[in-house]
Chain A
Amino acid sequence: MDRSGRVTTLRVARRPFPIPGMPSSSSSSSSSSDAAGAAKEERKAPSPEELPLVSEDKIELALQQQRKQQMKVLCENAPVWEYQTVRVPLEQLAKVSRQIQRQLEREVQQQLLLLQNLPKRQTKEKLDANQLASALEAILTRLQSIRSKLEDIKQVEKKLITKSIQRCKHLSSISALALPAEGKGALEKQHKEIWNWHRTRLDRMIAEYMARKGCIKAARLIVTDSNLQDLVDVDVYQTLQQISESLTKQNCQPALKWCAENRLRLKKINNNIEFNLRVQEFMELVKKQERKQAIEYAQKNLTPFVLLSSSSSLGVSSSSLSSSMSLSSSMSRSLGSSVGNLAKSSSDSAGASTSLIDDPEEAKRNMKLLQRALASLSVPVSLIASPQNPYRDMFCEERWTTLRQQFEKCFFDANCFNPNPLLTSNLAFGIPALKTKKCGKEYNRNCPTCQKNFKRLGSRLPYALKASTKIVCRLSGRLMNEDNPPMVLPNGQVYSLQALQQMALENGGEIICPISQKQFPFSQVTKAFIV
């Protein structure tokens, strides 16, 4: 009995079923149970020689059927992942459309105004026919130039739509491959095309992953190599990378520029990144001890985030602004007055100052942060770096990292990207489906989860549930099933019927167990019934 503990080694419960005619080597103690067992066992398993030869074709056919089923599943499930692929260009189109609309309206309105003001101008400046004609001609030229540029502008939007349609076509090509193929070589060809589509998909996901991690050059290399031009939004990721880099270098300007361009969208997704960026710039001024500039900055750039747009109700009253600050040091008294001025001037110009906030809840939240920021003005220089600084969190460098992460998240949200790269999401589903407790212990070089890196990647992911028995024959590498059942050798080793039959044919009815090198006649193997 083999004690290796492998699944394909069965420990024989009693002793091997006594072969009629062969001297039984059983000891007398269990002979009675043997007899009982033998009596019970009326339905004898057919002797191995009686079993029909397992045909290669039958096995292949069964395998093919299973493969066909799996391929179908692969085709049908693939497009489900592609929300981002299809949604992103639509969002880009929306943005570009808005810009174009503003531009067109502005230009046309401008010229119309000029036209309508012309009579007034004429009376005022006493223009004669010639001058009037020239003025009109200027307007005419401008209108004509708008008209001629219309085609170019249209192409900008059209290109995005074409790109989207390309992507949709690419995605529906896989659904089309789910349909059954007719014809002799057609099935093979279809399977090849399915694998190719999936390889392209993997390339797309790798390109996206690289672009997300900022490796733009590598991403572009893949896009060119695999012809993924319209399918991956590397340009958008590059914009993100540039802004991210500047945030790492502690420069908020590109990020603020982006926020200004995308304010409408930011409002919809309810993200206060712009305010946080402004606060950070304020803190940098405080760190540099430029207190006066800091206060001016706050007045100009921070107050719009705490005041509501309706002048009738201020999100914050000037008194609460100054009173909620508990300032103790003498320096803070003077600061307190300047803060009070800040509040006063804001409330004075409440109607005139631009407000960027509509939601009173948001105004309240921003207010809290503003108070902390302003309060940090009162921290004396010597105390800034010390652990006793109550506003330590406002001064620490980690704020930049958090800010950058928040910006990235906001960027993805605004552009309708998935928050995680598709590749990691996909692996999160794939690794558990493959992971078994055996992986690594019984190393199979073809098993992905046996690989060291994958094991570590999936260390926190769940194991797969295997509710049915699947045994792989160690001789032929084939799965055992009813057509190719497992057979037990007298030494407990198990192999598939087909492999044993083959071996018996080649060796004149003898089986040589590859593990133990023992030889047995074919008649000594018994069938095991595995459910």
Chain B
Amino acid sequence: MCEPVNAELLFQNLGETLDASYVQVSRTLDDLIQQVQRTVEGIRAVQDEESLVQTNQRAVKAVKDLAQKTSKGNHLQNVSQTRKELQQAITKASKELDKSDAAKIVPKLDVESTTASPLLEKVIAEHLYTQGRFEIADQFLQESNIDPDSVEDREAMRDMFKIVSDIKLMNLDLALSWVSGDNSNGLSASKKRSLHFMLTKIQFLKMLHEGLKKEAIDFSRRSFTPFMSSHLPEIQRLMASVLFVNPETIAAASSSPSSLSPPSAMIQRIQSQYKDLLEPIDWNDVAMNFARDYCQAFGLSENSPLFLCVTAGITAMPVIQKMSSLSKEGAWIGEKKLLAEVDLGPDYQFHSIFTCPVSKDNASDKNPPVLLKCGHVICQQSMLKLTKPPFRRFK
């Protein structure tokens, strides 16, 4: 297991070694510079009553001394030595990282097949579309020489993000027109109606929150009628809330409990009945719900499949590694079935699987699960095997 904590320590130590080495180098250089400087100053300082010849002689001597001192002194060695130590520290750190388990795990897998290439690019582009990053996806497809239109659901996603970004900006027009139009026919009728109602309700609430009572009432006259049969109780409640939900009460209700003037008894009563309507509208939540229903309408998945696969891979890796440690490295890839079960948790369960407790086989069309009298369920083949000897009954 690559322990990043240890690695962090490694790097911090390296940083310290680096600092120390630079201190050493600068000290060495400073010393050398000082010596040269002194010599220069010595030469330049012309003494009184000194002849030219004497000055020259003195200069020559000073230079000779300097040359001797520097050849004996170990400036170069100092610099080299300290750098060498740094190099050694780096090499040591590299070796330590190479020894860790993480170094052995990932590289050995050779899955890259030439046919996978345009596929994986498209998968990545789809993933980016689900995140709304259209420019990045298009740039990527362009650089990979793939036609953007060959990626399915591109337009659908584009439209969804347009609507979603509008919702986040508190504008429900596009959403309402989508849900009332034909494009939302992928949803079941009841689902479509409840989504439509939810959006209408939010629109209504928005007007109340802004204090536009009259507009809200007009809007409700127009828009709530189709829902009278299905959502009557809720509509009644909403209409009653016109009296009580307005910017003042909202402000009063949202004032913190520790404020100086506690909310009046009236406000408290309103709060108890209409708490959810007084809260500010969570537009992100509305957007998320809309996106979920939109995906259902088009048969798109709610979460990005790429993300699910990748996180599944993280959970699966140690299990598979352990399983494959018994056989040749990487041989498990060519097998038909994994030899170990990977438990991915409840969120990754998409298909129902029935495993016969007797034969440990998976049920299939040819071998369906069969209900016994006692209520237990086994595979049909297991049942047939158990009834082969001419018993009428069996355990």
* Chain A nearest Cβ from B199, distance in angstroms: 23
Among the 9-residue stretches A337-345, A358-366, A378-386, A523-531, the one with 4 or more Cβ atoms under 8 Å from chain B is A523-531
Whether A13 and B373, one on each chain, are in contact in the complex, defined by CB atoms closer than 8 angstroms, is yes
When distances are taken between beta carbons in the complex, the residues of chain B under 8 Å from A205 are 310
Q: Mark A489-531, 1 if CB is under 8 A from B, else 0.
A: 0001000000000000000000000000000000000111111
When distances are taken between beta carbons in the complex, the residues of chain B under 8 Å from A87 are 94, 97-98, 103
Whether B333 and A115, one on each chain, are in contact in the complex, defined by CB atoms closer than 8 angstroms, is no
When distances are taken between beta carbons in the complex, the residues of chain A under 8 Å from B320 are 429, 432-433
Which residues from 342 to 384 on chain B have a C-beta closer than 8 Å to any C-beta of chain A?
342-355, 357, 360, 362-365, 368-377, 380, 383
Q: Does B2 contact A (CB under 8 A)?
A: yes
Which residues from 318 to 348 on chain B have a C-beta closer than 8 Å to any C-beta of chain A?
318, 320, 332-348
Q: Interface size of B by Cβ–Cβ distance < 8 Å?
A: 148
Q: Does B107 contact A (CB under 8 A)?
A: yes
**What are 23 A-B interface contacts by the 8 Å CB criterion?**
A11-B368, A14-B372, A70-B345, A87-B103, A94-B90, A108-B79, A128-B56, A158-B18, A165-B8, A165-B12, A168-B5, A427-B111, A433-B338, A453-B126, A456-B119, A460-B113, A462-B337, A463-B338, A465-B337, A466-B362, A467-B360, A469-B355, A527-B375
When distances are taken between beta carbons in the complex, the residues of chain B under 8 Å from A172 are 4-5, 8
Q: Does B105 contact A (CB under 8 A)?
A: yes
Whether B306 and A41, one on each chain, are in contact in the complex, defined by CB atoms closer than 8 angstroms, is no
Which residues from 15 to 49 on chain B have a C-beta closer than 8 Å to any C-beta of chain A?
15, 18, 22, 25-26, 29-30, 32-33, 36-37, 39-40, 43-44
Checking B14, B83, B106, B339 against A418 with a beta-carbon cut-off of 8 angstroms, the contacting residue is B106
Checking B107, B121, B144 against A420 with a beta-carbon cut-off of 8 angstroms, the contacting residue is B107
* Chain B nearest Cβ from A100, distance in angstroms: 8
Q: Mark A178-210, 1 if CB is under 8 A from B, else 0.
A: 000000000000000000001101100110011
Q: Does A327 contact B (CB under 8 A)?
A: no
Q: How far is the CA of A137 from the CA of B41 in the complex (A)?
A: 10
Q: How far is the CA of A434 from the CA of B101 in the complex (A)?
A: 26
Whether B111 and A424, one on each chain, are in contact in the complex, defined by CB atoms closer than 8 angstroms, is yes
When distances are taken between beta carbons in the complex, the residues of chain B under 8 Å from A111 are 32
* Chain A nearest Cβ from B98, distance in angstroms: 8
Whether B94 and A429, one on each chain, are in contact in the complex, defined by CB atoms closer than 8 angstroms, is no
Q: How far is the CA of A164 from the CA of B93 in the complex (A)?
A: 12
Q: Does A330 contact B (CB under 8 A)?
A: no
Checking B4, B66, B343 against A175 with a beta-carbon cut-off of 8 angstroms, the contacting residue is B4
When distances are taken between beta carbons in the complex, the residues of chain A under 8 Å from B254 are none
Whether A5 and B337, one on each chain, are in contact in the complex, defined by CB atoms closer than 8 angstroms, is no
When distances are taken between beta carbons in the complex, the residues of chain A under 8 Å from B360 are 467
Q: Does A288 contact B (CB under 8 A)?
A: no
**A13 with B372, Cβ < 8 A, contacts A202-B306, A419-B107, A424-B111 known:** yes
Which residues from 19 to 37 on chain A have a C-beta closer than 8 Å to any C-beta of chain B?
33, 36-37
**A446 with B350, Cβ < 8 A, contacts A97-B83, A146-B29 known:** yes
Checking B71, B94, B368 against A5 with a beta-carbon cut-off of 8 angstroms, the contacting residue is B368
Whether A108 and B76, one on each chain, are in contact in the complex, defined by CB atoms closer than 8 angstroms, is yes
Whether A418 and B107, one on each chain, are in contact in the complex, defined by CB atoms closer than 8 angstroms, is yes
Q: Does A461 contact B (CB under 8 A)?
A: yes
Whether B309 and A422, one on each chain, are in contact in the complex, defined by CB atoms closer than 8 angstroms, is no
* Chain B nearest Cβ from A489, distance in angstroms: 11
When distances are taken between beta carbons in the complex, the residues of chain A under 8 Å from B5 are 168, 172, 175
Instruction: With a 10 A CB-CB cut-off, give which of A8, A418, A442 has the most chain B CB atoms.
Output: A418
Whether A530 and B354, one on each chain, are in contact in the complex, defined by CB atoms closer than 8 angstroms, is yes
Q: How far is the CA of A210 from the CA of B365 in the complex (A)?
A: 42
Q: Mark A454-480, 1 if CB is under 8 A from B, else 0.
A: 101100111111111111100000010
16 new A-B contacts, CB < 8 A, other than A132-B62, A430-B313, A447-B301, are A70-B345, A70-B347, A87-B98, A105-B80, A108-B75, A133-B59, A146-B29, A150-B25, A158-B15, A161-B11, A165-B11, A206-B124, A454-B309, A462-B335, A468-B341, A470-B353
Q: How far is the CA of A467 from the CA of B341 in the complex (A)?
A: 7
Whether B375 and A526, one on each chain, are in contact in the complex, defined by CB atoms closer than 8 angstroms, is yes
Q: How far is the CA of A111 from the CA of B76 in the complex (A)?
A: 10
Checking A81, A98, A221, A488 against B135 with a beta-carbon cut-off of 8 angstroms, the contacting residue is A221
Checking B44, B308, B353 against A133 with a beta-carbon cut-off of 8 angstroms, the contacting residue is B44
Main secondary structure of the interface of B (DSSP, over half): helix
* Chain A nearest Cβ from B46, distance in angstroms: 8
For the complex of A and B, the 5 pairs showing the least CB-CB separation, nearest first, are A430-B313, A70-B345, A448-B305, A447-B350, A168-B8
Q: Does A169 contact B (CB under 8 A)?
A: yes
**A104 with B83, Cβ < 8 A, contacts A128-B59, A424-B112, A434-B308 known:** yes
Q: How far is the CA of A78 from the CA of B123 in the complex (A)?
A: 22
Q: How far is the CA of A429 from the CA of B64 in the complex (A)?
A: 72
**B interface with A by C-beta (< 8 Å):** 1-5, 7-8, 11-12, 14-15, 18, 22, 25-26, 29-30, 32-33, 36-37, 39-40, 43-44, 52, 55-56, 58-60, 62-64, 66-67, 70-71, 75-76, 79-80, 83-84, 86-87, 90-91, 93-94, 97-98, 100-103, 105-107, 109-113, 116, 119-124, 126-128, 133, 135-136, 139-140, 143-144, 152, 295-296, 299-303, 305-318, 320, 332-355, 357, 360, 362-365, 368-377, 380, 383, 392-393
* Chain B nearest Cβ from A118, distance in angstroms: 5
When distances are taken between beta carbons in the complex, the residues of chain A under 8 Å from B316 are 429-430, 432-433
Whether A140 and B40, one on each chain, are in contact in the complex, defined by CB atoms closer than 8 angstroms, is yes
**A86 with B4, Cβ < 8 A, contacts A94-B90, A112-B75, A140-B40 known:** yes
Whether B338 and A424, one on each chain, are in contact in the complex, defined by CB atoms closer than 8 angstroms, is no
Whether B111 and A215, one on each chain, are in contact in the complex, defined by CB atoms closer than 8 angstroms, is no
**A171 with B106, Cβ < 8 A, contacts A448-B305, A448-B308, A462-B336 known:** no
Q: Mark A106-118, 1 if CB is under 8 A from B, else 0.
A: 0011011001111
Whether B79 and A105, one on each chain, are in contact in the complex, defined by CB atoms closer than 8 angstroms, is yes
* Chain A nearest Cβ from B360, distance in angstroms: 7
Whether A74 and B311, one on each chain, are in contact in the complex, defined by CB atoms closer than 8 angstroms, is yes
Closest B residue to A30 by beta carbon equals B392
Instruction: With a 10 A CB-CB cut-off, give which of B312, B336, B364 has the most chain A CB atoms.
Output: B312
Closest A residue to B39 by beta carbon equals A136
Q: How far is the CA of A112 from the CA of B33 in the complex (A)?
A: 11
Q: Does A403 contact B (CB under 8 A)?
A: no
Checking A430, A434, A436 against B353 with a beta-carbon cut-off of 8 angstroms, the contacting residue is A436
